[in-house]
Amino acid sequence: MADKKRLLILNGSHSDIPLIKSGKKLGYHVITTGNAPDLIGHQYADEYHPGDFSDKEAILSLARSLEIDAVCSCANDFGAITASYVAEQMGLPGHDPYQTALTLHHKHLFKAFALPHNIPTPYAESYESQDEALASVDHYHFPLIIKPIDLTGGKGVTRVFSRADYENGIHTASSVSPAGKIVVEEYIEGTQHSFTTFILNGMVVFHFSDNEYSYKNPNLVATSAAPATGPEDVPHKLIAASEKIASLLSLGHGVFHIQYLLREGEPYIIEITRRCSGDLYPYPVDYATEVGWADWIVRAATGMDCSAFPEAVQSGFCGRHCIMGPHDGIVEDVIISTEIEGNIFDSLMWWDKGYRIHSHMAQKVGIVCLRFDSMEEMQDKIRRINDLIRIEYR
């Protein structure tokens, strides 16, 4: 261990397991942090130290005390922001400047950057307080989307269709936002997708796309299926937007992930992240491309040479599904239909009999990675996925 460089990964959730494994594969002594020591990912690391990865000063202090050689974000936007801050303060490679990380990951800053530069994104206004946002209600036509500026995973997001909805949405977003700030965005009716890329010398050298689906919570992605459906020119438009952003912000090498809505053939960017996507996202990417996606994310985050990024084209049909329940309760079993059992090529479960679901709108009990023989099979089984894989309650 004394000869190994020390890599700090900023959490140890199930979503971080691919990064932890890759860090060790690349020869690092991997240390995880986070304020939940019981998370499953920590057991894959060499070492764990408690810390709140959203607290950049606390993580900086921890990183200095551990004398780390590199830092990698977890699968969370706060992790990406904190990793950039720690890297900037300690002179570590592999990350954008802290202010750039804020611009990309804080919704109000991204809108303020994107709209003047004609980046395709829904129009939005941001507000510093509830009162300021509430006073602006007459400026809008419904429906709208109201979001906290600094949370992911659909937390605090409300779709509003009336004045009463608007007031409730403002209160919800403001109450959960760590900064107490709000974004009010035009509502785009369309299908939801993601587009993940690797930026090298300002250019997109790799891309992977998928469709995204929700279950009970319309603001939380539970299932993905690749490749994304839509007109053939959509990837070209998203690559152009990615490279434009990379140029304007002088982005470093690494992952550049877009979540977008597709309306009448046109993509509208709703989120951008520079960190690994969660819920074992690297596994379907690898199934479709064989690039070793988590390895390259870690290579870039640690400042390793990325010039040999392989040429790869997405192929096949695959996805992943987060197993969630329709209501709260105690899990007796997870029933997987024989109809889809043969489609599962990897899985991770953390439930057992007696596992309590106390927040069914967000809580997951496991993840399965899926492959299909055709687009038709994929679309049919994804449409029925919550019947084919279901939770049985006591």
- Reference 302, options 41, 83, 11, 12; nearest CA is 83
- pTM across the whole model: 0.95
Say if CB 72 and CB 19 are below 8 A apart.
yes
Domain ranges within the chain, ordered by starting residue: 6-103, 123-186, 316-394
CATH topology of domain 6-103: Rossmann fold (3.40.50)
- Reference 273, options 294, 242, 298, 306; nearest CA is 242
123-186 and 316-394, same CATH topology: no
Query: Using N-to-C axis directions, what is the helix angle for 107-114 and 234-249, rounded to 10°?
Result: 100
Tokens 């779709």 sit on residue: 159
Say if CB 92 and CB 303 are below 8 A apart.
yes
The residue ranges of DSSP E strands in the chain, in sequence order, are: 6-9, 29-32, 47-48, 70-72, 124-127, 144-148, 158-160, 182-186, 191-200, 203-214, 221-226, 254-263, 266-273, 317-323, 329-336, 344-349, 356-357, 366-372, 389-393
Rounded Cα distance, 202 and 153, in Å? 28
Range 123-186: architecture per CATH: 2-Layer Sandwich (3.30)
- Reference 375, options 208, 192, 226; nearest CA is 226
Longest dimension (CA), the chain: 63
As given in the structure block, the two tokens for residue 199 are 């930026």
Rounded Cα distance, 9 and 20, in Å? 7
Per-residue pLDDT for the chain (394 aa), expressed as one digit of tens each?
458 999 999 999 999 999 999 999 999 999 999 999 999 999 999 999 999 999 999 999 999 999 999 999 999 999 999 999 999 999 999 999 999 999 999 999 999 999 999 999 999 999 999 999 999 999 999 999 999 999 887 889 999 999 999 999 999 999 999 988 999 999 999 999 999 999 999 999 999 999 999 999 999 999 999 999 999 999 999 999 999 999 999 999 999 999 999 999 999 999 999 999 999 999 999 999 999 999 999 999 999 999 999 999 999 999 999 999 999 999 999 999 999 999 999 999 999 999 999 999 999 999 999 999 999 999 999 999 999 999 999 9
Question: Which CATH number is correct for 316-394, 3.40.190.100, 3.90.1170.40, 1.10.760.10, 3.30.470.20?
Answer: 3.30.470.20
Tokens 């105690």 sit on residue: 330
As given in the structure block, the two tokens for residue 27 are 């020869």
What is the CA 133 to chain-centroid distance, rounded? Answer: 27
* Omega cis (within 30) before 227: yes
As given in the structure block, the two tokens for residue 162 are 């009336």
Say if CB 186 and CB 144 are below 8 A apart.
yes
